Chain A
Amino acid sequence: MDRRAFLRQVALWSAGLSVSIPHFRICEALAAEGQQPLLAHATGRDYRDLVDRVLSPLGGMGKFVRPSDKVVIKPNIGWDRNPAQAANTHPQVVRVLVERALDAGAGEVLVFDRTCNEERRCYVNSGIQEALAGIKDKRLKFFHPDERKYIPVDIERGKAVRRLDIYRDALEADSYINVPVAKHHGLSRLTLGLKNSMGVLGGTRGAMHHNLGQKLADLATVIRPKLTVIDATRILLANGPQGGNLDDVRVLDTVIASVDPVAADAYATTLFGLRPEEIESTVAAHGMGLGEMDLKKVRVIKA
């Protein structure tokens, strides 16, 4: 099963031409084996500059976005919280990534999240709506997910979940860029890149919480970002994932980027004084060969 065949299934299903559920089986090599995964992190007050700096060791945006690509940039816009409260991805980080994707010649850049609080309030209060309104480019599409466009997908390699409703654009993207914010979470301890992918799921997502770590790893077999950029400009240390109390926020002015989603999560975990193996989803994803969690085996570059 290659990607092209999978996309054909997705298209047929959503056009009502097929009743068989699309299924995604990975045959291609997972994390580029033998090669040491690369991770860059940078610290600085100017978040625009910060994003550029962190991307350059990875080869710049051009490495991930080819001309006329369909690009999905998936921030965390889950909560009706403002940027200082550290519950959503920082608007400036999202904005720079969108601009760089457009600069790289993307055919279209889609930005969305399925929120937990009321959709419009989250988009507004997160500051992302305002930040993206400044970009006057018709290729940028910032929208609320459309209920009709969730597609059931069989998770062939899933150990804890067999089928999930996934947003069509996320499946069809040529380049999927995951942009989580690093923060505390009651159940999973932290919410990072793998948890952020839940924003492309339809249906009742609460059921994901029963054996969350493995289910996130299962989801990661289908939603496979070409690039993960973790926003740790400020991190939420308690009362996550919503926060609301500025005393729980610590400003780190840090951004992390990696091609390896597991390595990105593993590195971000250390910012909280935790070890990667304390996060179940990291362990589960690593166990399935989706990426590297041993930071000694990752080439970490301070940019």
Chain B
Amino acid sequence: MKNTRKIPLYYWRRLSQLACLTLFFFLFIRTDYSGTDTIEYAVNILFRIDPLLALSASLAAGFFIPLMLPAVGTLLLTLILGRFFCGWVCPMGTLLDGCRTMAPKAQTGNDRKYRSLKFYLLGFLLMGAWFGLPMAGYFDPFSILVRGLALALDPALNTLSTTFFTYTYQEGPTWLNTVTEPVYAFLKATILPFNQKYYDLTILSLGILLLVFFLEKLERRFFCRNLCPLGALFAVTSRFSLLRGKAGTKCTKCRNCQEVCRMGAIDEERTISPIDCNLCLDCLHHCPGNKISFQFGMKSQAKPTFTLSRRTFVSSLALGAMLPFFLKSRTLARQSDELLIRPPGALPEEAFVGRCVRCGECMKVCIGNGLQPAFLQSGLEGMFSPILKARTGYCEYNCTLCGQVCPSGAITKLSAPEKKKVKIGNVVFDKNRCLPYAKGIPCIVCEEHCPTPDKAIKFREVVVENSRGEKVTVKQPYLIDGLCVGCGICETKCPLPGPSAVIVTSAGESRNPAKALPDTGRMGY
């Protein structure tokens, strides 16, 4: 490498990182309704090029999920280029690299004792996915990142800006507003979400994301080196990769390369381990003798620079295979949570949880703010999977966006007419709270908002005695089960303070025939 006057190679790597990060943020912002019924961009592409999620979702599904085909391309490229993805593409990696300039420098560190954790984790996750404990999404870097952004940072950013610009709007002088209002309008048109959204598990999602960043204090790219199961998959593949870094044997042993290596890939003998190297190419720049080169070659089969404990690895596989059987004896397995309402098009529960990669895309895109991350409603293995919480938001009748953005097909992509035939739940009225029943006060907001062309919520005119002892005619709502799709707009809009008097339950959901509602016509009582 004599081209010292030319642009150093690591600049290209930085450019690639920046471009991928920009693209990532662009697609993240575009994960929203944009004036048409379909999203034009492949906003979920990041999750579809992720071989870890492709593998775990496919293992859970029992077949290779065609949507996730792009992930094969990533693996093939890794076979040629090694862990380039970690160094050149991964937005999490880029952000970790980027935040280093802000944080006090940790020692570069070359501690290898945690390196094998990611392999054990990978084994455990894949076995778990296969046998019925799908948890890959808990550790996948993109899932962690997008969840943190969608459920915590994005809504918080909106709160922050709205608070600030409300203050300037209400308290500031006119001249200030001539500056701040256009800025606010610009932000709203570009990076801010359309409206304020509210989410469950905000702090948890943020905490997990921040933890990845705090680990940088211990070691550069601590997460990538030691924990990232996607990195582990790339590492395994990179054992066979063609592009390898080689340090010269006749170097002055200055060890600059070892010190600058963000992945701790270079050992005392200045061997560059393809399992760890993410091809950032920093070492090229720092080698005073230009002894380091990256070349394609089939010959040298590098040996791993750490030893994997076979016993621990087998144990982690066994754990992944065994744990799922404990899930089958929970009460959940017999009787699912009646408030566990899945998005329209969701596969039957077991298949759904198996394929859901916990990316948060559906919750980000849900324009009704109805989809929320589950906590323990569907068990330990269902955390962060989407459920409809109809008191805070509802499923917009004409909208099909969640199925469009789901990267793994856990939510089937449905056309609008198909979606309207899917029943995700059924409504029950709490007559102790519902105003026309309980208080003789007219209301019927639920019926007003019921979106089915032939309204599922209808009413009867009934003369009742109200709390003042007056005889009044009120309209009392009731439900036609066969018309209700379970969208939950009635629960969202119910004007009672506190819990709604009309509640969506998962009864009658079309993905589970076991939950079919009684049909008076056929039963004949």
> Smallest distance from the beta carbon of B182 to chain A beta carbons, Å?
14
Tell me the dominant secondary structure on chain B's binding face: loop
Residue in B196, B445, B453 whose beta carbon sits within 8 Å of that of A239 in the complex: B453
Structural contact, B454 and A245, CB atoms closer than 8 A: yes
Provide the A37-48 mask, 1 if CB < 8 A to any CB of B, else 0.
000000000000
> Which one, B165, B447, B495, contacts A186 given CB within 8 A?
B447
Chain A residues within 8 Å of B165, by CB:
148
How far is it, in angstroms, between the C-alpha of A119 and the C-alpha of B33 when the chains are bound?
Answer: 11
User: Is A212's CB within 8 Å of the partner chain B?
Assistant: yes
Q: Is A211 in contact with chain B by the CB < 8 A criterion?
A: yes
Given the known inter-chain contacts A121-B33, A242-B451, please indicate yes or no for A204 contacting B495, CB distance below 8 A: yes
A80 B398 Cβ-Cβ under 8 A: yes
- Say if the beta carbon of B429 comes within 8 Å of chain A: no
- Chain A residues contacting B269 (CB-CB under 8 Å) are none
The smallest beta-carbon distance between A118 and chain B, in angstroms, is 5
- Given the interface pairs A117-B396, A204-B495, A243-B453, the reply to whether A186 lies near B444 with Cβ below 8 Å is yes
B442 within 8 Å of A (CB atoms): yes
Decide: A209 and B443 in contact? CB cutoff 8 A. yes
- Cα distance A206–B459 in the bound complex, in angstroms: 17
Stretch at the interface among B166-174, B246-254, B318-326: B166-174
Q: What separation, in Å, do the CA atoms of A243 and B162 have in the docked complex?
A: 35
Contact check, B162 vs A186: say whether CB atoms are below 8 A apart: no
B interface footprint on A110-154 (CB within 8 Å = 1, 0 otherwise):
000000111111001100010000000000000000011000000
Chain B 430-487 residues near chain A, CB threshold 8 A: 435, 441-445, 447-455, 459, 475
Q: Please encode chain A, from 174 to 208, with 1 for each CB lying within 8 Å of some chain B CB and 0 for all others.
A: 00000000000111000000000000000010110
Check B444–A207 contact: CB distance below 8 A: no
CA distance A116 to B445 in the complex (A): 11
A185, B453: Cβ atoms under 8 Å?
A: no
Q: What B residues does A119 contact at CB under 8 A?
A: 194-195
B121 within 8 A of A: no
Do B398 and A125 touch (CB < 8 A)?
A: yes
Is the pair B194, A80 in contact by a Cβ cutoff of 8 Å? Answer: no
Closest to A187 in B: B444
Which residues from A are CB-within-8-Å of B33? 118, 120-121
Complex: chain B residue closest to A242, CB-CB: B451
**A-chain residues with CB within 8 Å of residue B397 when the two chains form the complex:** 80, 117
Q: Is there contact, CB below 8 Å, between A212 and B367?
A: no
- The answer to whether B453 touches A121, judged by C-beta atoms less than 8 angstroms apart, is no
A187 lies within 8 A of B442 (CB)? yes
Is A296 in contact with chain B by the CB < 8 A criterion? Answer: no
Task: Give the total number of A-B pairs whose CB atoms are below 8 A apart.
Answer: 90
Nearest B residue to A118 by beta-carbon distance? B367
In the docked arrangement, what's the CA distance between A131 and B475, Å?
Answer: 38
Given known A121-B33, A186-B475, A239-B455, contact A210–B367 (CB-CB < 8 A): no
- Contact assessment for B396 and A210 in the assembled complex, using a CB-CB cutoff below 8 Å: no
Identify the interface centre among A16, A185, A244: most chain B CB within 10 Å of its CB: A244
A119-B195, A207-B495 as given contacts; A245 in contact with B453, CB under 8 Å: yes
Inter-chain contacts of A16 with B (CB < 8 A): 170-171
Residues of B within 8 A of A187 (CB): 442-444, 447-448, 475
In the assembled complex, A29 has its CB within 8 A of some CB on chain B: no
- Min CB–CB distance B439 → chain A (angstroms): 9
> Given the complex of chains A and B, what is the CA–CA distance between A148 and B195 in angstroms?
12
Q: Does B104 sit at the interface, judged by CB under 8 A? A: no
Does B417 touch A at the CB level, under 8 Å?
Answer: no
Quick one: which of B389-441 are within 8 Å of A by CB? 396-399, 435, 441
Instruction: Judge if B494 is at the interface, Cβ distance under 8 Å.
Output: yes
Interface residues as binary, A87-131 with B (CB distance below 8 Å gives 1, 0 otherwise): 000000000000000000000000000001111110011000100
Query: From B170, which residue of chain A is reached at the shortest CB distance?
Result: A16
Return the contact of A120 from the options B35, B170, B441, B449 (Cβ within 8 A): B35
Q: Could you tell me if A210 and B449 are in contact, using CB atoms closer than 8 angstroms?
A: no
Knowing A148-B169, A241-B448, A245-B454, say if A210 contacts B398 (CB, 8 Å).
no
Complex alpha-carbon distance, A42 and B238, angstroms: 77
Judge whether B270 is part of the interface by a CB distance below 8 angstroms: no
Which residues of chain A in 218-247 are interfacial with respect to chain B, using CB atoms and an 8 Å cutoff? 239, 241-245
Q: Whole-angstrom distance between the alpha carbons of A185 and B35 in the complex?
A: 28
Q: Which of A80, A124, A187, A241 has the most CB of B within 10 A?
A: A187
Q: Does B13 contact A (CB under 8 A)?
A: no
The interface centre, meaning the residue of B165, B196, B448, B452 with most chain A CB atoms within 10 A of its CB, is: B448
Residue of A14, A117, A204, A207 with most partner-chain B CB within 10 A: A117
Whole-angstrom CA separation of A204 from B450 in the bound complex:
17
CB distance from B151 to the nearest CB of A (A): 20
List of B residues within 8 angstroms of A118 by Cβ: 33, 367-368, 396, 399
**B18-48 interface code vs A (CB 8 A; 1 in, 0 out):** 0000000000000001011000000000000
Instruction: Report the separation of the CA atoms of residues A118 and B34 in the bound assembly, to the nearest whole angstrom.
Output: 12
Question: Distance (Å) between the CB of A238 and the closest chain B CB?
Answer: 9
A residues near B194, Cβ cutoff 8 Å: 119-120
List A contacts of B169 (CB < 8 A).
Answer: 148
Q: Judging by beta carbons under 8 Å apart, are A242 and B495 in contact?
A: no
Q: How far is the CB of A37 from chain B (nearest CB, A)?
A: 30
A contact residues around B368 at 8 Å (CB): 118
Q: Does B493 contact A (CB under 8 A)?
A: yes
CA distance A138 to B451 in the complex (A): 36
A-B contact pairs, 14 of them (CB 8 A): A80-B396, A116-B449, A148-B162, A148-B166, A148-B169, A187-B448, A209-B442, A210-B441, A210-B442, A242-B449, A242-B450, A242-B451, A244-B451, A248-B453
Known A-B contacts: A16-B170, A206-B495. Give 6 more (CB < 8 A). Answer: A80-B396, A124-B35, A147-B196, A207-B495, A244-B451, A244-B453
Query: Which 9 pairs across A and B sit closest by C-beta, in order of nearness?
Result: A206-B495, A244-B453, A245-B453, A16-B170, A206-B445, A187-B444, A118-B367, A16-B171, A186-B447
